[in-house]
Structures are given as C-alpha cells and as structure tokens.
Amino acid sequence: MINHISLANFRAFKNAEIPLSKLNIFVGPNNSGKSSIISAVNLIAQNLKAGTKEYTLALNGPYVELGTFYDTVHGHTAKSVMSIGFVVDEYKYNYSYRYRPQKREIELIKAEMTGDGFRYQYTFGDSGVSQLVSSPEHKIQGFRPVQRSRVYGFNISHPLFQMTYRRVADEFGLETYKSLRNFLFKTSSN
C-alpha cells in the first residue's frame, strides 16, 4: 500500500506531502488539487506497470492522460524539474524528471530508493549515469560512473539491476548485497 506521496512541480502542487491510508477522501474547492493527487497515483501505476526500457516518463497511457510536460508541470514552466515520490511500507522512492526539448521527451534525471537505513541512487546527466550506494555503517559504499548506453531502464526486475546486485556483492560484501536485494525485491514483488 502507498502510505505517502510527495509531489514537486506536479500539476496543482508546487510542493506537497500527502499522507495516505487505506481509505482516503479528498474534499476541496475546484482547482485545489484533488484530481492531481489521483493523477499522481495513476501516473505511478502507469509507469511501474509499463516497465519501459527508457528513462522517460509516460504521461499518457492506459491509466491517465496528462497531455504534455508543459501541461503537467506546475506553473506550466517547461524548464522546471518535476518530482514524484512515494512511500510503500518503510521504503521510499523518489523520481525527478525534466523536459529535454532537443529530444522532445521527459527524461529521468534522478531515481532514489531508501529503506532499512540503505540508500540506492542513480543520477543521470549529459555525461552519463552515476550510481551511489550508502548505508549507516558506511557513509558511501559505492559511487561509480556508468555509461548511459549501458543502462536500459529503472526497472528493478531488469537483468541489469540483477548484475548490479552481483557487483555490489563482489565489491562491498555479501551483507550489503543482501540488504540491497532484500530491500529492492521485497518492494518489487508486492
């Protein structure tokens, strides 16, 4: 169950932290953000279910039709970074996107997962992709630049992530590997 949603520059919200429970009732005047919350949940579901092999955000699909990035970003400012985060049990996910006019696509620029005191982060830039793994025992357990062409998608069931887990086991030890694997696969199987 999604326990919490955080939105930055998404539709009606500049910044919002929305706690959720089993039953949620949204009440408010027109244009106050009720449908933006529902759209965010649908957008999360749409992109997780799609399991695309691209680092793009699908604004339009079977669960929600949001139009363009310009239509979706708060204040209709295409240069803004839009972030969507959610908490499932004690695990937190946060994804940040920007519009790339030269590619005419919405690109993932940062993906972060935290839980059980563990942090796993990808940061995407023009020069490539870097990954960061950290835990309370070791402030930074790993930081490595990765070629963008070798990264196929932020889908934790993808073979690339499984290879990453093996690399973590080799480089940082079996306990770090187990923590990362348990953290990611526990949340992905629900």
3-class DSSP state for residue 5? strand
3-class DSSP state for residue 103? coil
Residue 87 bridge partners (DSSP):
4, 92
Residue 148 has pLDDT above 60, yes or no: no
Q: Are 117 and 135 within 8 A, CB to CB?
A: yes
30's tokens: 């027109």
**pLDDT, tens digit, for every residue of 51-108?**
654 567 889 999 999 998 989 999 888 889 999 999 988 888 898 999 888 877 888 8
Rounded Cα distance, 81 and 98, in Å: 5
**How many CB atoms are located within 10 Å of the residue 10 CB?**
26
92's tokens: 């937190």
Q: What is the pTM of this model?
A: 0.68
**pLDDT, tens digit, for every residue of 14-28?**
999 999 999 999 999
**pLDDT, tens digit, for every residue of 29-56?**
998 999 999 999 999 888 877 765 456 7
Lowest mean pLDDT among 2-11, 49-58, 91-100, 109-118: 49-58
